[in-house]
Amino acid sequence: MKALFTGLAVTVAVLGLTACGSVALRPAGPSPSAAPRGGQQVTDSDENKTLSYHVGDSFGLVLHGQPGWTMWENVSSSDRTVLLPVVDTRAASVRGVTLAMFKASAPGTSQVSASASMQCSPGAACPALARVWKVTIQVVG
């Protein structure tokens, strides 16, 4: 009887959620994409993805500026014990391109993010809008 009641409650809840049209049932999230060892570049197209690397791998981040926005800045790793920013003194970019480099230093998960704000003329009123770009990196042993 208890199992029947539980099954009925779940069915009613699912039907109620789908009937209102404002909630969509979907998988928990994308599965991590395997990334080749070393030398891989993470780019604009990887936004909101989950990528997987091994301890010791390094990758470069290449983000292109968008019209009407400042260049990407504040590039950071949410967990520097997992994903360590690396200074590459040889890196040079063209105008409008932001470069960064990271090394997978320990197993775990870290998010890499960057931000940009509206580009406004000097002295003009400018809305306080910002964009955030991010990717999740899973590091395995």
Q: Give the pLDDT confidence of 89-130 residue by residue, as tens digits.
A: 666 677 889 999 999 999 999 999 999 999 888 888 888 889
The count of domains in the chain is 1
Which of the two residues, 103 and 18, has the higher pLDDT score?
Answer: 103
17 belongs to a structural domain: no
Pick from 76, 61, 57: which is nearest to 132 by CA?
A: 76
Q: Output the pTM of the full model.
A: 0.68
Of 33 and 109, the one with more pLDDT: 109
Which domain range does residue 83 map to?
31-120+127-140
CA distance 132 to 130: 7
Predicted confidence at residue 91, as pLDDT, reads: 65
Q: Is residue 74 part of a domain?
A: yes
The domain that holds 76 is classified in CATH as: 2.60.40.2020
pLDDT for the residue 19: 39
**How many helices and strands, by DSSP H and E, does the chain display?**
1, 9
